[in-house]
């Protein structure tokens, strides 16, 4: 059973960088079959996929067009975790952020507990 444990600050100031980490247990961030995603949810934007990282002999990233100029998702193989960095945040980035694993079934199988991040102006 895969478990994802998120951590990071719940309050970020406008124009600064939002940073979250997701620790994986039950699988490896370097798995050849899994991908590791960040998804957020807010009342105004609903569920929004932000991007993913995955390993297939080398590391790949895909990012949503809406955030691609501001986002970085990085794996950390030494700690078996992955991270989200979102730069130049505004109050519109206030949301619950989820780290999520998928195993190539065109669906998101395992979700972290969610982290409410508030961007203050």
Partner 1 sequence: SYELSQPPSVSVSPGQTAIITCSGDFLGNRYACWYQQKPGRSPLLVIYQDVKRPSGIPERFSGSNSGNTATLTISGTQAMDEADYYCQAWDSSSVVFGGGTKLTVL
Residues that bind partner 1 (CB under 8 A): 39, 46-49, 62, 64-65, 98, 105-109, 111-114
If we measure between CA atoms, which residue out of 71, 14, 61 comes closest to residue 40? 71
Name the minimum Å distance from CB 59 to partner 1: 15
Name the minimum Å distance from CB 114 to partner 1: 5
Name the minimum Å distance from CB 57 to partner 1: 18
> Closer to partner 1 at the Cβ: 10 or 46?
46
Name the minimum Å distance from CB 19 to partner 1: 20
> Closer to partner 1 at the Cβ: 81 or 115?
115
Which residues, including other chains, have CB under 8 Å from residue 7's CB and lie 6 or more apart?
A: 20, 21, 22, 23, 115
Counting every residue written for the chain, the total comes to 121
> Closer to partner 1 at the Cβ: 75 or 101?
101
φ/ψ of residue 11, rounded to 5: -135, 130
Q: Point out which residues pair with 36 in neighbouring strands.
A: 53, 101
């Amino acid at each position: 059973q895969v478990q994802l444990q998120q951590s990071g600050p719940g309050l970020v100031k406008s124009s600064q960088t939002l940073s979250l980490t997701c620790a994986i247990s039950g699988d490896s961030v370097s798995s050849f079959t899994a991908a590791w995603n960040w998804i957020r949810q807010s009342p105004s934007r609903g569920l929004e996929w932000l991007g993913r990282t995955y390993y297939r002999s080398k590391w790949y990233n895909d990012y949503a067009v809406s955030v691609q100029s501001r986002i970085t998702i990085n794996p950390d193989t030494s700690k078996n975790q992955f991270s989200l960095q979102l730069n130049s945040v505004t109050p519109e980035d206030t949301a619950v952020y989820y780290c999520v694993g998928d195993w190539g079934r065109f669906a998101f199988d395992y979700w972290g507990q969610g982290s409410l991040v508030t961007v203050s102006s």
